[in-house]
Amino acid sequence: MRFSDFLLLFSIIAMFFACSGEKKDIIPQRKMAAILVDIHLADEIAANRYSVAPETELDSASLYGWLFEKHAVTRAQFDSSVVYYASKSDALNKIYKNVSDRVSKMEAELARIAEEESKKSVIYEDTKMYRLPLDGKREKIPFEVPLSGEGDYTVNARIIMQKTDQSVNPRITAYFWYDDGTPEGSREYFRSIPIKKNDRPNMYSVSKMLDDPKYTHLKGFILDHDNTDTLFVKNAVVLKISVTK
């Protein structure tokens, strides 16, 4: 859904309920704008913007749970606030401008990142959706990619990790590798990226420059952990994995 369409839909809902608006449990303007930005992002994810397979497409309504919890509001408070601000045109316009400014800034940043990424070539892509524990209770999701010479390599993954996940120190682990005759081989590690347990989708990227031609592969784990036993469950979804150079 385009942002202009999103605001139009909000306006229609607001006008429909305008006659019953009362100042009771109303969400402040700035907080309301932040919630609307997150709703827009949830709708974008549910609309398959990030190439999720149709049979596993996410429903935007199912993503609103983390959203209202994040902002410490209820759905009833949100609905009441929509009704209230519908009758306050000045306040509604300020909210619209706040939301528009935030989304425009985010879209500009995404465009900048996309332009940078377009200069890189994708040397590995895994479009499978991994759903844990459905696809394995403690799966680390290993990857192994042949290297194509010296250069700057980046590992990317889009991950939703729930707050109920029991992983200790969940993170992306990546390293350059070559066979030096030892059981583990020679490894040069990337900086680890911690995974947030916040019930929402996040994009993670970790990069490292390869300047030693001895290394032959890029290896690692998308959902690494430090648990010392197997009596735990991961609650996470990985939507997309890729390696660019």
CA separation, residue 162 to residues 62, 63, 94, 137, 197 (Å):
13, 12, 33, 14, 5
155 and 45 in a common domain: no
Q: CATH number, domain at 201?
A: 2.60.120
140 and 85 in a common domain: no
Q: What is the pLDDT of residue 61?
A: 55
Q: What is the pLDDT of residue 52?
A: 42
Respond yes or no on whether the N-terminal peptide bond of residue 133 is cis (omega within 30° of 0). Answer: yes
Question: Considering its fold, how many domains does the chain have in total?
Answer: 2
Last residue of a domain, one of 118, 134, 162: 118
66 and 160 in a common domain: no
162 and 109 in a common domain: no
Last residue of a domain, one of 118, 145, 178: 118
146 and 43 in a common domain: no
217 and 112 in a common domain: no
Last residue of a domain, one of 93, 118, 143: 118
pLDDT one digit per residue (tens) for the chain, 245 residues: 455 555 555 554 554 444 444 556 788 999 988 888 888 777 766 654 444 444 444 455 556 667 788 788 888 888 888 888 888 888 888 888 888 888 888 788 777 766 766 667 889 999 888 988 877 777 899 999 999 999 999 999 999 898 889 999 999 999 999 999 999 999 999 998 899 998 778 889 999 999 999 999 999 999 999 998 888 888 999 988 999 99
**DSSP for 203-231, written as a single string:** EEEEEEEE--TT--EEEEEEEE---SSS-
145 and 78 in a common domain: no
126 and 114 in a common domain: no
**How far is residue 212's CA from residue 210's CA, in Å, rounded to a whole number?**
6
Q: What is the pLDDT of residue 10?
A: 57
**How far is residue 28's CA from residue 90's CA, in Å, rounded to a whole number?**
14
57 and 142 in a common domain: no
151 and 63 in a common domain: no
Spatial CA neighbour of 203 closest among 165, 168, 241, 152: 241
83 and 52 in a common domain: yes
Domain limits for position 104: 3-118
Say if CB 132 and CB 237 are below 8 A apart.
yes
Say if CB 56 and CB 130 are below 8 A apart.
no
176 and 143 in a common domain: yes
Q: What is the pLDDT of residue 240?
A: 86
Q: What is the pLDDT of residue 46?
A: 60
